[in-house]
Amino acid sequence: MSYTQLLPRYRGWKIPLFHALRKDINLLKTVFYNFRCANYACPVRVYPKVHLHISPTARIVHNGGRLNLGVRWNVEQYRRSEFLLRDNATLEINADFDIYTGCQIVVDPGAKLSLGKGAMNHNVRVAAFKSIAIGHDVYISENATLWDSDNHPIGASSKKFTAPITIGDNVLIGMNATILKGVTIGDGAVVAAHSLVIRSVPSKALVGGVPARVLRENVTWSL
């Protein structure tokens, strides 16, 4: 019996299973989470040294593409990664997305993380307490942070301390940049390295500084 005949009902993840047989893939985790997620149709490729926890009440919405967890540049660069999808949280996969080694991704109870086409380089930290949406062709450089909450209210202020982050299409976020709650980054924007972004960024703008401000307009960039 052929491979295709053996797995007629798993059309959505025949390819992920094939890739799981590669030596650099964690076979057990890859097969387990592909069976468990989204009725066998969610392609998730898990590399070594990834601590992956998906709550039984969490939801994965697969609209296309594959999520690659713990990708590395070479064999020597495997660093421990963490991906936590907590109770009633939602992960939305819309296209191919690579999360490199050393990243810490936490989607809190009831929160949502949406991923388009793109990549997070080594040691990126993402904490979604409410909602973080990442568009297509987005590249997030090493050691960047996306955090949509202050975690704690300060003093007696009634100001919201959690607000969604939205990143548009074709966005570049530089090394060690920090994106905080309530920020929307427009299509084609560039965030310079070491920037602290606390206000929304216009489309095709280059922002930088602490706090970040517009340095140039109508910029273009490419990988």
Q: How far apart are CA 126 and CA 117, in angstroms?
A: 16
Query: How confident is the model over 40-56, as a mean pLDDT?
Result: 78
Which residue is catalytic, options 19, 62, 122, 152?
152
Note whether residue 99 is domain-resident. Answer: yes
For the residues 84-89, what does the mean pLDDT come to? 94
Q: Any idea which of 17-26, 68-77, 92-101, 178-187 has the lowest mean pLDDT?
A: 17-26
Looking at every residue in the chain, the average pLDDT score rounds to 82
pLDDT above 50 for 213: yes
pTM: 0.81
Domains identified in the chain, total number: 1
- CA angle at residue 147 from 84 to 81, to 5 degrees? 35
Paired tokens of 140: 């997030």
pLDDT(122) > 50: yes
Question: Whole-angstrom Cα distance, residue 7 to residue 130?
Answer: 38
- Tell me, what's the pLDDT at 36? 54
CATH assignment of the domain containing 110: 2.160.10.10
Asked whether residue 11 is domain-assigned, the answer is no
Report yes or no on 122 lying in a domain: yes
Alpha-carbon span 158 to 179, nearest angstrom? 22
Residue range of the domain that includes 157: 48-216
Is position 223 within any domain?
A: no
For this structure, is 152 an active site residue?
yes
